[in-house]
Amino acid sequence: MRTDHPVQSGTYFFFNLGCPKNLVDAESAAARLENAGWRQAAFPEAAELLVVTTCAFISSAMEESVEEILRVGASKSPEQRLAVLGCLVSREETALRKLLPEVDIFCTVAEMPFLAERIGARVGREEARGGEERVGAVSGGGTCASLRTLFTPPHLAYLKIADGCSNRCGYCMIPAIRGDLVSRTREDILREAAALAASGVKELSIIAQDTSAWGYDRDRRECLYDLIEALADAARFDWIRLMYLHPAHIEAERLVPLIRGGALCPYLDIPIQHVSDRILKRMGRPYARRDLAALFDRLRSSIDDLVLRTTVMVGFPGETDADFRELADFLEETAFDHVGVFTFSPEQGTEAYALRKRIPEGIALERKDALLDLQMDISQERLNARLGSELAILVDSALPAGERPSREIGWVGRFFGQAFEVDGVTYLRGAVPGPGAMVRGRVHEAQAYDLIAEVTSV
């Protein structure tokens, strides 16, 4: 950390790890701090309160979280306090209290909204490590827009419509960390969306652990598609995109008209995990390869210019060479625009932890690299098809001189087929009004994951 900024009383600084769902929780905690009189510091060394939000989905994420806590803790001054929030605390709080004496305050996922109250109470270190009284918990991510301090650029935001998950996939810790699915109310979601639109947000990404399951915990009186229809009527955004759709919960007959009618941009994130029927059954995923093939055929044939993202896992216990080849063949046949590839992580407390026939780590990594190489070629081919076309591009930021691919490129943005921070970007040449502007650009170069375009109009 820098040392030329004295600590300013009543200021905070967040170090955010993990997924967008975690980020929304951090934004809510930060807003509650500000409502209590705290303000955000420009530099971490100037903040009285340092906050690390953590991930605990898999072991590597837990290790990254602990390393970040140790890094921040080692550099904090005696005038600073350190709070650790989120999934890692929910999963390993007892061990963390023993392992990390430099941490002043721990908050589980359910306690994150009450960080301001915990800080305001001035809980001391010894008191915090002992049996301090638990603050109340909330479920379902129950926030409204007045309780969000965006950590994203101001022209884009995530909207979390539910928390927890009831799917019980054999490899997943989410239900143990965040509990069963709890959907937010339609009214609360619409209020937040309207406030975000009024604040200048142009791109809204709808998220949850399983976005397509919204309303399932309420006897399905309303479903995701009813919510999207109401959302499109209640608030105006340039783009609304859906992330984290479970393949088994997608109703194509409801989803397709929403995209064709313009309520949603033609971009869908549908994690499939695998395609081998045998491996899917061992994972606890309630669909087969033929179901996936039918779904993607239906979506691609019904929606013009559809961009598809998925996530797959290799190295699951019992995965044979034949299972892996089946997965690779499916990715090549379906030609997803974006693919995330992960290796299986045996997490204690999941059903998959006890499964036999574990795949050696070296083989799992080889399979991951092979899929990434395959997807690089597919992505390049998909982007090559956009050469010469003119696209609407949302400008995210100016590029520092040292990060520019060439001297003429001064800005970076995304077309509708590039989700923030998970997909590629579009580099821009020409005059741009500034971040948050929607411009049109003609594509003149396609790289493996990125585009380069010339601005033609604003």
Ordered domains of the chain (ranges, CATH): 8-129 (3.40.50.12160), 145-384 (3.80.30.20), 390-457 (2.40.50.140)
Task: Convert 299-326 to b/e letters by CB count within 10 Å (16 or more is b).
Answer: beeebeebbbbbbbbbbbbebeeebbeb
Shortest CA distance to 212 belongs to which of 104, 278, 286, 294? 286
Going 174 to 180 to 186 to 191, the CA torsion angle's sign is negative
Shortest CA distance to 449 belongs to which of 389, 391, 357, 384? 384
pLDDT at residue number 140: 35
pLDDT at residue number 50: 97
pLDDT at residue number 458: 87
Rounded Cα gap, residues 367 and 338, in angstroms? 17
Which of the residues in the chain have pLDDT under 70?
1-4, 121-146
pLDDT at residue number 138: 32
CB-based contacts of 298, cutoff 8 Å, min separation 6: 252, 256
pLDDT at residue number 130: 37
Structure tokens at 447: 């790289």
Rounded Cα gap, residues 94 and 83, in angstroms? 15
**pTM of the entire structure?**
0.91
Count CB-CB contacts under 10 A for residue 261: 10
